Structure 1
């Protein structure tokens, strides 16, 4: 997704704990957009949170029992939202 959508500035993490930093451009954090994505994901049954000093880092913290279909759902929800921007 990061290669297809420039709003995704960085993806980092360890194991299943992943942070997706979103920026409007090189200087402006995408705080509002992260909030909108979290709300959209919730309507689709995906619970996400955010972090960072500007609340522009989407936190992905799945349970240890996550399934491939859960991962597919998350990626589809994110892709749907990003594609509508």
Structure 2
């Protein structure tokens, strides 16, 4: 998968769906076996980097949801007082 990124692992510019799909492919390749130890290690490292990208996206989404819910609760509390 070619992408223009700034990090050595090529994951900075990946969106969540891209990282997830590539991670699924990495897992399938590892589960299928038939790779050398060096190839398996490289796949594992790529999978770890992709998992971190997915976690960052999910953490960011959770933070946005929490902020939106807190804002909504604050508005409801202000309306109840008013």
TM > 0.5 fold call:
no
- Larger RCO, structures 1/2 (Cα 8 Å, 6+ apart): 2
Q: More helix by proportion, 1 or 2?
A: 2
TM-score (structure 2 length as normaliser): 0.31
Q: More strand by proportion, 1 or 2?
A: 1
